[in-house]
Amino acid sequence: MQELRNKYISAIADAADEATLEDVRLAAVGKKGEVSLKMRELGKMNPEERQIAGPALNALKNEINSALVARKVSLADAALEDRLRNEWLDVTLPSRRRGQGSIHPVSQVTEEVTAIFADMGFAVAEGPQVDSDWYNFDALNIPDHHPARAEMDTFYMYRSESDNQPPHVLRTHTSPVQLRSMEKMGAPLRIICPGGVYRADYDQTHTPMFHQVEGLAVDKDISMANLKWALEEFVKAFFEVDEVELRFRASHFPFTEPSAEVDIRCSWAGGQLKVGEGDDWLEILGSGMVHPKVLKAGGIDPNEWQGFAFGMGIDRIAMLKYGIPDLRAFFDSDLRWLHHYGFGSLDQPSLQGGLSR
Ligand code: DAH
């Protein structure tokens, strides 16, 4: 028994890894292990022998089991030590300057616009880019055969001949999100809806996919004065100037009444855009008081509530603010362009910390 003990205790101590240790365990106390076989022989012994050999074998089995457990723990500790020694990371190494990527001007400007309107109490709402004819047109007071449908160069989504439903469209503007938000949240309501929109058009200032941001405020006593104030605050904050002058030009949109297009005073002296001074005017958005039919389509009683709305091109104001000449380059994925016009990924635009440092 002493021999068995010496053999296995030293084998356990010598086991250099868990697999070897398991082999030792099986050889000693496994079903067909040496110690187990010896215990089976107890039955053949006479009572006197058994009284001595039984407890001794049990003690041996216990000793071997404890040694196995202890060795297993120390092997695991050693393995961990080993990993910690080999798989280390120098957290004091300086990071790569600006990493590999950058924030696209569209994302940057979307964040900027969101930060400014969030400060005025506007929440962000989103809607689907494939939308029904009803949301994109009818609910916005653009019935079938209305000329505005043709003007928008709409992409219609294919439906099978057997399907008698009207076609879906790639939304031509973010205005349908007005309806979805009214339905979901009711009045009062204050939201902006940024996102991608689609029209079949392609030149220096038009791409088939571009971005808009819609604004909508519905309350009991909203007026054009509120619209004017909100837009002035927005333009000042966005272009980072102290004074701006806005010009509201009477216009027509089916979903607003009255409607206005908004220009900002600017100068193009030396080919450089300066907002807030000069003799030029720059159109930046469409707006107006929400048409009663639109409120009604959104489930809001126009006798009780009224609202203003506006829609603005995100890519367009990005081009203006950051002096980017060609819209098409926005979507070319040219790394040189992205590095030149992109923004650092760690600078979150905020009114306190700066919009576009
Ligand atoms: N949906 C219009 C467009 O894409 C923009 C617009 C104009 C939105 C006036 C509005 C608005 O909410 O009141 O051209």
35 and 121 inside one domain: no
Asked if residue 284 and residue 193 are part of one domain, the reply reads yes
Last residue within a domain, chosen from 38, 56, 86: 86
Q: What is the DSSP letter of 350?
A: B
Residues with CB under 6 Å of ligand 1 are: 173, 175, 214, 253, 256, 286-288, 309-311
Helix (H) or strand (E) holding 80: helix 47-86
Q: Does residue 94 fall inside a structural domain?
A: no
| pLDDT computed for residue 99 by the predictor | 61
Binning pLDDT at 50, 70 and 90, where does residue 95 land? confident
pLDDT of 149 reads: 81
Task: Determine whether 179 is exposed, middle or buried from the number of CB atoms within 10 Å of its CB (0-12, 13-18, 19+).
Answer: buried
- Domains of the chain: total: 2
Domain that holds residue 210: 105-344
- Is 345's pLDDT higher than 90? no
Is the domain of 80 the same as that of 191?
no
Ligand 1 center to 313 CA (angstroms):
10
Whether 146 and 26 share a structural domain: no
pLDDT at residue 157 above 90?
no
CB 68 within 8 A of CB 24: yes
Distance CA 201, CA 182 (A): 30
The answer on 244 and 213 residing in a single domain is yes
pLDDT at 164: 78
Residue 228 reports pLDDT greater than 90: yes
Q: What is the pTM of this model?
A: 0.72
Tell whether 127 and 258 lie within a shared domain.
yes
Q: What phi, psi does 340 have (nearest 5°)?
A: -70, -45
Cβ-Cβ contacts under 8 Å for 24 (sequence gap 6 or more) = 8, 11, 12, 15, 68
Dist. CA 253 → ligand 1 center (Å)? 7
With the most atoms of ligand 1 within 8 angstroms of its CB, the residue from 253, 261, 290 to mutate is 253
Query: Mean pLDDT across the stretch 149-167?
Result: 80
The 10s digit of each residue's pLDDT in 117-149 is 999 999 999 999 999 999 999 999 998 888 878
CA of 197, closest atom in ligand 1: 4
Domain end position, chosen among 38, 55, 86: 86
